[in-house]
Chain A
Amino acid sequence: MNKVRRLLLQGAGAVAAGLLAPLSALAAAWNKDAFGAKSAPDALKALGASDAAPSREVVIEAPEIAENGAVVPIEVTSGVRGTTALMVLVDHNPFPLIARFDFAAGALPFVKLNVKMGETSNVRAIAEAGGRHYAATKEIKVTIGGCGG
């Protein structure tokens, strides 16, 4: 009886693993080095984006003063032709890299999201196009921090 039960459980586990596999196979691996970096330059290095040069084509829309650092709305648009990815970093956060978005042909290089900010900091947006990187920076002042608690 017990043996049968064990076999059934093993079977169920295998089915579950099979169902989950396609999703993880499609998605790019989570960039542990970049997300684990404790400074923006280190994160950019791990992203292969150290060459990022300032560009007016990359635009950050965000409030100049964020009253609540736990929810700071940030909107990034890239006007750089052939943009295939956008990255968002908050320089003074313990782990600056917030997110990386890779766009296939059907997507526009735009994203809006809410981020946490521990303190007043520069926010960087990096666009990737044709293997090159383009950056925008904007300072956001935070009156109440959104990290820890």
Chain B
Amino acid sequence: MAAGPMKMRATLVGGNTEVRVLMTHPMETGQRKDPTGKLVPMHFIQQVLVKVNGKVAIDSQVSQGVSRNPVFTFRLRGGAKGDRIEVSWVDNQGESNRTEAAIA
């Protein structure tokens, strides 16, 4: 399965910003076998970057132990309606994706 779309929502909660982001990714551990009994090669997101108005706020390193189609919730100090939140990821096979949204 190839990497698919991302979904993100950034909302103000009690003066801080809550970012919920969904990534479409198989997160293969390298231990699962396909129906013919062959091991499915490792394929998982390794890095997730969260940026606010272009500045890095959270830099994450991730393993194959994160569930398929990862969903992360992050919290950012303060924030204002219209601030640009960007989340991007890179996996162990060099694939990447990014999404952007304004705080609602």
Residues of A contacting B29 in the complex (Cβ-Cβ under 8 angstroms): 94, 116, 147-148
In Å, the complex CA distance between A28 and B58 comes to 11
**CB of A14 to closest CB in B, whole Å:** 16
Does any Cβ of B come within 8 Å of A44's Cβ?
Answer: no
In Å, the complex CA distance between A114 and B77 comes to 23
Residues of A contacting B74 in the complex (Cβ-Cβ under 8 angstroms): 107, 110-111
A-B contact count (CB 8 A): 115
Within 8 A of A (CB), among B76-104: 76-78, 88, 90, 96
Does any Cβ of B come within 8 Å of A24's Cβ?
Answer: yes
Residues of B contacting A114 in the complex (Cβ-Cβ under 8 angstroms): 66-67, 70-71
> Could you tell me how many residues of chain B have their Cβ less than 8 Å away from some Cβ of chain A?
36
Q: B79's closest neighbor in chain A, by CB?
A: A106
> Could you tell me how many residues of chain A have their Cβ less than 8 Å away from some Cβ of chain B?
41
Q: B76 near A23 (CB under 8 angstroms)?
A: no
Contacts A23-B49, A23-B90; A90 near B65 (Cβ below 8 A): yes
A36-80 Cβ-contact flags toward B at 8 Å (1 or 0): 000000000000000000000000000000000011100100000
Q: B90 near A27 (CB under 8 angstroms)?
A: yes
The interface residues of chain A, by DSSP majority, are classed as mixed
Q: B49 near A27 (CB under 8 angstroms)?
A: yes
The interface residues of chain B, by DSSP majority, are classed as strand
Does any Cβ of B come within 8 Å of A113's Cβ?
Answer: yes
Q: A109's closest neighbor in chain B, by CB?
A: B75
Q: B90 near A24 (CB under 8 angstroms)?
A: yes
Contacts A20-B96, A23-B90, A26-B56; A107 near B61 (Cβ below 8 A): no
Q: A27 near B47 (CB under 8 angstroms)?
A: yes
Contacts A114-B66, A114-B70, A115-B65; A99 near B58 (Cβ below 8 A): no
**CB of A61 to closest CB in B, whole Å:** 11
Chain A residues within 8 Å of B, Cβ to Cβ: 20, 23-24, 26-28, 30-31, 35, 70-72, 75, 90, 93-108, 110-116, 146-149
Chain B residues within 8 Å of A, Cβ to Cβ: 16, 29, 31-33, 46-47, 49-50, 52, 55-68, 70-78, 88, 90, 96
Please list the 7 inter-chain residue pairs (A to B) with the smallest Cβ-Cβ separation, ordered nearest first: A112-B73, A114-B67, A108-B75, A98-B65, A107-B57, A106-B57, A110-B75
